[in-house]
Amino acid sequence: MAMNIKRPNGTEDVLPKDVHKWHTVEKIARETAISFGFSEIRIPTFENTDLFLRSVGETTDVVQKEMYTVMAKETKFTLRPEGTAGTIRAMLQNGLLNEALPQRVFYILSCFRHERPQAGRLREFHQFGLEMAGSASPAADAEVISLAKTILDRLGLRNIELHINSIGCPVCRAKYHDALRSYFDARKDELCDTCRERLVKNPMRILDCKSPICREIGKDAPVILDYLCEECSDHFDKLKKYLTKLGIDYSVDPKIVRGLDYYTKTVFEFVTTEIGAQGTVCGGGRYDGLIEQLGGQHTPALGFGMGIERLLLVMDKQGCDYLPVKKCDIYFATMGDAALEKAMELSDQLREYGFYAEFDLMGRGLKAQMKYANKIGALFSAVIGDNELDSGKIKIKNMAEGKDIEIALDKDFTNNFESLYFTTVMNGLEDEKILQSGNVIKENDNNG
């Protein structure tokens, strides 16, 4: 019996009927990032495991529970759980940080985390992300947040809140860790096993634990904002000032610590309540220590990652617009082999001009071919048979209106089709314009 193999849990197929949604997000994100001076980078899907241990952090959920690691010929490799570590590794390895700063790169890639699959939480998911290296200025933080916000706005998303926090630098963090340790020590026995270990190694991680008990205990924990040193506190104040200047609404959430260890100073999340519990569509922040930690010179840097599946969940929910799906421009219905060969030749010429042309590949009868042309929503169709071949003329039928226009099968065929095409499309637009100005006139009438 043939085996019916299904896709692994927590993975998704993107079907042809939905791929335009992905193109929409990718196009808008790409163009926006480029307009802020970012260039695209592409990095490997797997890296040496040590890269993630050293950057993401040994006490994080990602490293402790979620990495896909394989042992291959005595070397441990891990499927990337996020994009920052690999991107910084690539920048260092290729000397990008010796070039003009800030270095700005973005990426669109898949990430792998062994999590419990649910809506908005997958084992293979996709991120649009970016990193900016070289600037310590809070203006860079404002720039990166503004870029993320611009993408969300251009996608037409609404009701997405920006939450920001500062988690300080190693200087302020030391005092804060002491305060957290004495707070959680009192209720040590109630914490989950992982967090009891974190209490010793990295108490701030407890605040990011997903266990309800640890969350409850963490509610009254001291907040980092009360422990910021002067430099971090100034940095945070300037960022808030810039965001206000840019007209970007935000709220300060002193509980955000983020799930990756490399963050310093600014952390932020864009959050919606419209897609259930997994409502963080974008998370990011500053990581001034990471580049040094990975063997580079001390270089302040920052970035974010946006979950594309989560963005699409919200876009679907809110009925946002997607890029239009390209429909068939012309379908040739053929009768006989000579007609089929003509259809091949004409399609070839039209495709050269960028048109989407199709003809029958199924050996269907004429009626069934026309039914098919309707089904795929072809803008025009043309029948080719012996009559057309003899007369050297074909009738191009506008499928929506049923009207047709005759075009000669000569060297001007493609040009003539192109004029017909654009006249038709323009007429469509003209109709829309009339409709719009009609509305305006009505509105004026009501007002006056």
Q: With respect to ligand ATP, which residue has the nearer C-beta, 49 or 416?
A: 49
Residue 115 within binding range of ligand ATP, rule CB under 6 A: yes
Residue 309 within binding range of ligand ATP, rule CB under 6 A: yes
**Beta carbon of residue 260, minimum distance to ligand ATP (angstroms, whole number):** 6
H/E element, 254: none
Interaction partner, residue 309 (Mg ion, ligand ATP, none; CB < 5-8 Å by kind):
ligand ATP
Residue 320, C-beta contacts closer than 8 angstroms, at least 6 positions apart = 155, 156, 157, 314
Per the CB < 8 A criterion, the answer to whether 128 and 306 are in contact is yes
**Beta carbon of residue 139, minimum distance to ligand ATP (angstroms, whole number):** 23
Number of residues that bind ligand ATP (CB under 6 A): 20
Residue 278 within binding range of ligand ATP, rule CB under 6 A: yes
Q: What does the per-residue mask of binding to Mg ion show for 251-280, with x meaning CB under 5 A?
A: --------x---------------------
**Beta carbon of residue 10, minimum distance to ligand ATP (angstroms, whole number):** 8
Choices 249-257, 278-286, 402-410, 412-420; region in contact with ligand ATP by CB under 6 A: 278-286
Per the CB < 8 A criterion, the answer to whether 183 and 219 are in contact is no
316 vs 22, 320, 428, CA distance in Å? 12, 6, 27
**Beta carbon of residue 329, minimum distance to ligand ATP (angstroms, whole number):** 37
- 310, 314, 346, 380: residue in contact with ligand ATP (rule CB under 6 A): 310
Q: With respect to ligand ATP, which residue has the nearer C-beta, 120 or 138?
A: 120
The overall longest dimension of the chain from CA atoms, in Å, is: 95
**Cross-strand pairs, 107:** 129
E-state strands within 255-300 = 264-271, 280-286
**Beta carbon of residue 259, minimum distance to Mg ion (angstroms, whole number):** 5
- Phi, psi for 270 (deg, rounded to 5): -105, 125
Running DSSP on this structure, what letter comes out for residue 224? G
Q: Would you tell me how many other CB atoms lie within 10 Å of the CB of residue 319?
A: 7
Residue 109 within binding range of ligand ATP, rule CB under 6 A: no
Q: With respect to ligand ATP, which residue has the nearer C-beta, 187 or 210?
A: 210
Q: What does the per-residue mask of binding to ligand ATP show for 333-372, with x meaning CB under 6 A?
A: ----------------------------------------
- 218, 259, 289, 296: residue in contact with ligand ATP (rule CB under 6 A): 259
Residue 218 within binding range of ligand ATP, rule CB under 6 A: no
**Cross-strand pairs, 70:** 77
Residue 127 within binding range of ligand ATP, rule CB under 6 A: yes
Q: With respect to ligand ATP, which residue has the nearer C-beta, 58 or 412?
A: 58
- Give the residue from 147, 137, 152 showing the smallest Cα distance to 36: 147
Amino acid (1-letter code) at residue 447: N
Q: With respect to Mg ion, which residue has the nearer C-beta, 102 or 259?
A: 259
Residue 286 within binding range of ligand ATP, rule CB under 6 A: no
**Beta carbon of residue 85, minimum distance to ligand ATP (angstroms, whole number):** 11
- Phi, psi for 176 (deg, rounded to 5): -65, -40
Residue 113 within binding range of ligand ATP, rule CB under 6 A: yes
- Give the residue from 298, 388, 304 showing the smallest Cα distance to 340: 388
Q: Which residue is nearest to ligand ATP (CB)?
A: 307
Residue 63 within binding range of ligand ATP, rule CB under 6 A: no
Q: Which residues in the 132-161 window bind ligand ATP by CB under 6 A?
A: none
**Beta carbon of residue 59, minimum distance to ligand ATP (angstroms, whole number):** 14
E-state strands within 116-208 = 124-133, 161-166
Residue indicated by tokens 């226009």: 405
Separation of alpha carbons 182 and 180, rounded Å = 6
Which sign does the torsion angle of CA 386, 387, 391, 392 carry?
negative
243 vs 81, 146, 253, 387, CA distance in Å? 30, 8, 15, 70
Separation of alpha carbons 165 and 172, rounded Å = 14
Q: With respect to ligand ATP, which residue has the nearer C-beta, 47 or 309?
A: 309
Residue 192, C-beta contacts closer than 8 angstroms, at least 6 positions apart = 209, 211, 213, 214
Q: Summarize as ranges the residues that interact with ligand ATP (CB under 6 A).
A: 82, 113, 115, 120-122, 125, 127, 258-260, 278, 280-283, 305, 307, 309-310
Q: Summarize as ranges the residues that interact with Mg ion (CB under 5 A).
A: 259
